[in-house]
């Protein structure tokens, strides 16, 4: 699929924000297929237009961006039915959260629900276009250093963390090692050099980690690594703005 075919849904209750983003994306060769002013409209627009990427404001009237993200990305049960409040979609888009606060607790919840990253609303035009293309290609849009700050501030220890600990039991010792280094911000090339492996082998390890833990992308893998204590919030931060897949 070419970049010109990337389809975006804009969700924000401010007309000026939507207008500005539409102009920026259009100039970058990205097609804005629909706009929505709240989460309820967003869910319906996703069903109607099947976008590749949703730019989702987090704070909106009626239904906020967090609830909309949950509905859009909700997984159906094995029997095909939906739990109360879920709206499973056959072709789920990637969701980028828009916020004016880089440590908004709702951002962390949205990332945990499956969003592919977040952007501040003062993002530059070049970064906005790059972000849409990045998540459209399946990559995550969140530096592990930012994830560390979110986890450190908002993670609640307890039953949820214990459940995640059990999930890590499915990983091999090598996969645990890869996950720990991934969470510290190492790129695939850096992982390969550190572990003396081929980069293709590293990519295979990362793919298996995501599959075994039922994770959407590296953003969620980093969150799990911190939540379970595999990586400490005080450990070395990463500088990679867009981790590789």
What is the tally of structural domains in the chain?
Answer: 2
- What pLDDT is recorded for position 242? 37
Structural domain including 166 reads 150-227
Q: DSSP for 190-204?
A: HHHHHHT--HHHHHH
Do 90 and 207 have their domain in common?
no
Same domain, 169 and 63: no
Q: What's the CATH code of the domain at 51?
A: 3.40.50.2300
92 and 209 share one domain: no
In a domain, 243, yes or no: no
For the record, the structure tokens of 244 come out as 């590789």
CB burial of 52-87 (b: ≥16 within 10 Å; e: otherwise) equals: bbbbbbbebeebbbbbbbbbbbbeeeeeeeeeeeeb
> pLDDT means per 10 residues in the chain (245 residues)?
73 94 94 95 94 93 89 60 43 85 71 81 89 82 66 56 63 94 83 93 92 82 82 53 40
Is the domain of 115 the same as that of 45?
yes
DSSP assignment of 59-112, as one string? Answer: S-SSS-HHHHHHHHHPPPPTTS---TT----SSPPEEEEEES-TT-HHHHHHHH
For residue 158, is it within any domain? yes
**16 part of a folded domain:** yes
């Amino acid at each position: 699929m070419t970049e010109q075919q990337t389809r975006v849904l804009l969700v924000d209750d401010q007309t000026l924000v939507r207008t500005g983003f539409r102009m920026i994306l259009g100039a970058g060769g990205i097609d804005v297929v629909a706009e929505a002013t709240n989460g309820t409209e967003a869910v319906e627009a996703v069903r109607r237009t099947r976008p590749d990427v949703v730019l989702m404001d987090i704070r909106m009237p009626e239904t906020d961006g967090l609830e909309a993200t949950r509905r859009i990305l909700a997984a159906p049960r094995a029997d095909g039915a939906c739990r109360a409040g879920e709206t499973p979609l056959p072709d789920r888009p990637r969701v980028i959260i828009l916020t004016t606060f880089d440590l908004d607790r709702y951002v962390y919840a949205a990332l945990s629900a499956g969003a592919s990253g977040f952007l501040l609303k003062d993002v530059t035009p070049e970064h906005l276009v790059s972000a849409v293309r990045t998540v459209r290609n399946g990559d995550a849009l969140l530096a592990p250093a930012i994830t560390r700050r979110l986890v450190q501030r908002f993670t609640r220890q307890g039953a949820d963390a214990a459940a995640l600990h059990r999930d890590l039991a499915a990983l091999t010792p090598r996969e645990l090692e890869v996950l720990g280094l991934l969470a510290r911000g190492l790129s695939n090339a850096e992982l390969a050099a550190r572990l003396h492996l081929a980069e293709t082998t590293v990519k295979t390890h990362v793919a298996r980690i995501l599959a075994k833990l039922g994770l959407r992308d590296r953003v969620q893998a980093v969150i799990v690594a911190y939540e379970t204590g595999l990586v400490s919030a005080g450990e070395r931060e990463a500088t990679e703005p867009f981790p590789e897949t």
